[in-house]
Amino acid sequence: MTELFTYLDSKTGYTIRQYTKGSGRNSKLYFTTENFTTDDRFFFFSRNTGTDGLPNGELYKAEVSTGEMTRMAGSEYRGFAMDRTANFGVMCKDNVVCRLDCNTGEITELGALPAGGRVTGHLTTAASGLIACSYHLANKIYALVTLDPKTGKNEVVYQSDYHLGHAQICPTDDNLLFYIHETTGDALQRTWMYDIGARMARPYYVEHPNEWITHEVWSADGSLMAFMKLPGHIIVGDKDGRHFDEVAWSDHLLHPCFSRDKKWICADRISYWDEKVQEGIVMADAATGKIIELCETGSCKTGADHQHPSFDRSGKRILFNNPDKDGNAQVCIIELDQVKIR
């Protein structure tokens, strides 16, 4: 089955490939996980005809060249995320953590997270294979939990009264686990880094009064993090949280994401703070701060329909959601070889 068609962006004239259509939400994976297989031949997305919460539909794989779709897992699975280097993903069925082979589609159980709880985002993997997530325990306490796929054993490494979310283990250092205090809006101190070995939590970016920090992501090599200081400032910091630079700014940016070589950062332009803007996708030169407009998009109906752009592994294309006339996400790709860089 394929729904692929192309169109020309009304502002830039670039060709956009749209892979999904219909009355329901079709949403790419979140920008804080890989979306493409290691050969960039396929990407993953969630197909959801329901209306409740964040995307939790059936998991599909689509071929970039043809748009041919393959159903990979049902909606009973949650929190799917892809490994940074190998061709597999991990996800939960209730509290059981499973491995999905991206080539064969085989699903293998790896172990279990604490019974009666639920993940509060997607799972993440380190280069060592260690799996980590933020978790809401059965007793309603929030936690950071790891799972060793070699033994199947889980460990609750941290507990908190705060709503913990957006947990992302460092791709190359399984001792560092980034997480946030989730308020669904601003926070006095949002970003935190947890040292698993030392059992110590510390602020990552220390917020000053009236700073709004949000939407953080690791670089693929785990050396940097990018995040937003609203409105529209892209900040990059080292993994230890000791040095930060504002690398780019543009009106109403929200979700920044590195190319694997860290030379480029893509982001979406979204209406927020009750200010309406023309939504779209941009790319920023991380060295110069130059903003390159890539395309316009429709307006998001919900946070689950945000554009959430991210690069493929080669850095030659950007995958994003384009909300349709009803505000539902539909999955698109822009090939970057057509973009005028200079």
For residue 322, give the nearest of 18, 50, 13 by alpha carbon: 18
Q: Which pLDDT belongs to residue 275? A: 93
Q: In what order do the strands lie in the sheet with 244-249?
A: 213-218, 224-229, 233-238, 244-249
**Cβ(130)–Cβ(169) under 8 Å?**
yes
Provide the percentage of residues in the chain whose pLDDT is more than 70: 97
pLDDT band per the 50, 70, 90 thresholds, residue 254: very high
Q: How many CB atoms lie within 10 A of CB 112?
A: 16
Q: What angle do CA 113, 257, 106 make, to 5 degrees?
A: 40
Q: Using the predicted structure, report yes or no on whether residue 51 has a pLDDT greater than 70.
A: no
Task: Record the pTM.
Answer: 0.95
Q: Region 135-159: what's the mean pLDDT?
A: 98
For residue 89, give the nearest of 73, 102, 104, 77 by alpha carbon: 102
Q: How many CA atoms lie within 13 A of 216 on its CB side?
A: 30
Q: Region 222-249: what's the mean pLDDT?
A: 97
Pick the CATH number of 5-338 from 3.90.1150.10, 2.130.10.10, 3.40.190.10, 3.30.110.70: 2.130.10.10
* CA dihedral for 239, 242, 248, 250, sign (positive or negative): positive
Q: Which pLDDT belongs to residue 342? A: 64
Q: Which pLDDT belongs to residue 24? A: 87
Is the peptide bond between 231 and the residue preceding it cis, with omega within 30 degrees of 0? yes
Provide the percentage of residues in the chain whose pLDDT is more than 90: 95
Q: Using the predicted structure, report yes or no on whether residue 95 has a pLDDT greater than 90.
A: yes
Residues listed for the chain: 342
Q: What is the 3-state secondary structure (H, E, C) of 284-324?
A: EECCCCCEEEEEECCCCCCHHHCCCCEECCCCCEEEEECCC
* Long-range own/partner contacts, residues 62-70 (CB < 8 A, 24 or more apart): 62/19, 62/331, 64/36, 64/40, 64/312, 64/317, 64/333, 65/41, 66/2, 66/4, 67/2, 67/3, 67/4, 67/17, 67/19, 68/1, 68/2, 69/1, 69/2, 69/3, 69/19, 70/105
Q: Region 222-229: what's the mean pLDDT?
A: 98
Q: Using the predicted structure, report yes or no on whether residue 25 has a pLDDT greater than 60.
A: yes
Mean per-residue pLDDT of the chain: 96
Q: Using the predicted structure, report yes or no on whether residue 74 has a pLDDT greater than 60.
A: yes
Q: Using the predicted structure, report yes or no on whether residue 133 has a pLDDT greater than 70.
A: yes
pLDDT band per the 50, 70, 90 thresholds, residue 57: confident
Taking only the tens place, the pLDDT of each residue in 162-174 is 999 999 999 999 9
Q: Using the predicted structure, report yes or no on whether residue 36 has a pLDDT greater than 70.
A: yes
Q: Region 196-202: what's the mean pLDDT?
A: 97
Contact partners, residue 295, CB within 8 Å, separation at least 6:
9, 11, 12, 14, 16, 280, 281, 334
pLDDT band per the 50, 70, 90 thresholds, residue 23: confident
Q: What angle do CA 181, 29, 148 make, to 5 degrees?
A: 65
* Long-range own/partner contacts, residues 112-119 (CB < 8 A, 24 or more apart): 112/147, 112/152, 112/154, 113/145, 113/147, 113/154, 114/138, 114/143, 114/145, 114/154, 114/156, 117/143, 118/78, 119/78, 119/79, 119/92
Taking only the tens place, the pLDDT of each residue in 296-341 is 999 999 998 999 999 999 999 999 999 999 999 999 999 999 998 8
Q: Using the predicted structure, report yes or no on whether residue 50 has a pLDDT greater than 60.
A: no
Q: Region 243-251: what's the mean pLDDT?
A: 98
Q: How far is CA 255 from the centre of its chain?
A: 9
**Cβ(98)–Cβ(108) under 8 Å?**
yes
